[in-house]
Amino acid sequence: MLKKLPKLLVILLASLLVLNLLQAYFTELIYDEAYYWHYAQDMAWGYFDHPPMVAFLIKISSFFFSGELGVRFMSCILSIGSIVILWLLIDNPKKREHILPFFTFAFSLTLLNAYGFFTLPDTPLVFFTCVFLLVYKHFIKDPNYYKAILLGVIIAALMYSKYHAFLVVFFIILSNLKLAINKYAWIAVGIALLCYTPHFLWLYEHDFVSIKYHLYERPNGAYHFEKYTVGFFINLVAILGFTFPWVYKALYKTKATDLFTKALLYLTYGFIIFFFISSFNRRIQTQWVIIISIPLFILAYNYMLTNKNALKWIYRTAIINTIVLVILRIGLIYKPLFPVYYETHGNKLWVNNLHSQIGDTPVVFENSYRTTPMYAFYTGSNTFSLNNIYYRQNQYTIDKTEATVQNKKVLYVSKYYKKGDIKYKRIDGTFLYGNFIENFESYRKLKCSIKEDIETLNHTTEYTLQVYNPYDKVVPLKKLKFSVVYLDKYKKVKDLISITPTAFKENILTLSAKDTTNFKIKLPKSKMEKPSYFKISISENGLISGLNGSNIKVN
């Protein structure tokens, strides 16, 4: 099948691969890539924010190269694979007469272009969506055991890439409800579940921390029409650039004449409708809708092959997109060409600035899962993100990184410091300060829960506070301070009140290792008129209170 690729397309793809490899090598990491690189330093079947596929790709890349290319190599490979599969998904024989428009159109899609060298969870999501559509296309023509097994493996790969890959499978099934009585489809589902079992087990072992965070713990804000809903429609334009009027016209003109075309339409409209509704609740990030680039490309290119006017205008606007994207890509490396400051600018500068002052002293960054791995990537030093109630949980909440800085001299960096032992300049011109702590000690993994169900706040009732110590050592209570944190309906911290728990047993001076200790507490009145949530938090050794308890909803 691949041997039949036109020579011109092979040359263009080879040229693009070289371009992406060079871009990957010379472009500094963005913060999210550094965070996923941190994932890959401790391979597992799951991570706090995402399934493990992105870490797996980085780990493979690191076998071949070091540095930035050691993070991005597999993304360069997968991006070329995605374009090859898009070519295979086009049946019209006229495609061989319009290879340059095909390639230019594919290259011009903004996020598909960016994920040609950046390594993010959407990178494998795009690739495996393309593979899924190709396998599904052959499956509906002639289902059999081989295709069912292959389809199941690909579905699992999709889900290992990103959780909302579930929507891809859901909308495809919705487009063909007869799959519900197709034995091969059920075999595919069974294979997918079997392959995904290790991640299910990981979720279970980690108390479904990822699901809880995404569904219940994630902070939000008040609805803002321009930022949320208008922003969503801007995203629908941004993913296509200047080609958007003709691409969406192609979508509108396309009719579901067969099951595969119907699947593409359901996938596109399904994502648009789902995230349009979601936009009334939260801001939709551009990459969340990247999946529709794939069915839109297939539908639009097929439309181009039967409509000369569409071919002319999509090709012309794709060229404009391409010129803009090439300039921006150069600007990722050469800052003066980029219109605004971007994350690829100046990371080595600030890292070297700080590292030159402190050497290999471990650094604890307060509330920053972004700068923490960036510093570790470019220096090789031990780092840790100490998260408190004014931030959010992340991979540093659940992994073993905390242990690497315990009882050591560290530099503690906080945005709240106005002065310190060390200061360094960020690329935006502002300064951050750090202070040395001779014997750093934190207990961020202590877990707090209320035994009773609480629906309405009662300030006179005594409740049972359960504190679990997961460490291998006892924790002295004299080092801990407990607080009740009150939050508004958007899960923003509004009030923090110290409390003094009373132990059920007398003379309790420590939290036993690997054990739960019960205390009695009363919930103090908040200065908030009507708190929507509260949680129990612990401060150790004078640090700002941590994220030790889950948000508890109250009336």
pLDDT in tens, the chain (555 residues): 556 899 999 999 999 999 999 999 999 999 999 999 999 999 999 999 999 999 999 999 999 999 999 999 999 999 999 999 999 999 999 999 999 999 999 999 998 899 999 999 999 999 999 999 999 999 999 999 999 999 999 999 999 999 999 999 999 999 999 999 999 999 999 999 999 999 999 999 999 999 888 887 777 778 888 889 999 999 999 999 999 999 999 999 999 999 999 999 999 999 999 999 999 988 899 999 999 999 999 999 999 999 999 999 999 999 999 999 999 999 999 988 888 888 999 999 999 999 999 999 999 999 999 999 999 999 999 999 999 999 999 999 999 999 999 999 999 999 999 999 999 988 777 889 999 999 999 999 999 999 998 888 888 899 999 999 999 999 999 999 999 999 999 999 999 999 999 988 778 899 999 999 999 999 999 988 889 999 999 999 999 999 999 999 998
Beta-sheet strand order (sheet of 533-540): 493-499, 480-487, 533-540, 552-553
**CA-angle at 480, arms to 476 and 485, nearest 5°:** 150
> Given this model, what pLDDT does residue 4 score?
83
User: pTM for the complete prediction?
Assistant: 0.94
The whole-angstrom separation of Cα 483 and Cα 333 is: 47
> Given this model, what pLDDT does residue 38 score?
98
Q: Domain locations in the chain?
A: 2-336, 347-437, 447-553
Say how many CA atoms lie within 13 Å of 250 toward its Cβ: 29
Q: Note the pLDDT tens digit of each residue in 95-140.
A: 999 999 999 999 999 988 999 999 999 999 999 999 999 999 999 9
Closest residue by Cα to residue 511 from 450, 462, 448? 448
Q: Note the pLDDT tens digit of each residue in 448-466.
A: 999 998 888 888 899 999 9
The whole-angstrom separation of Cα 135 and Cα 184 is: 13
**Domain 447-553 indexed as CATH 2.60.40:** yes
> Given this model, what pLDDT does residue 2 score?
58
Asked if 53 and 121 touch (Cβ cutoff 8 Å), the reply is yes
Across-strand partners of 370?
none
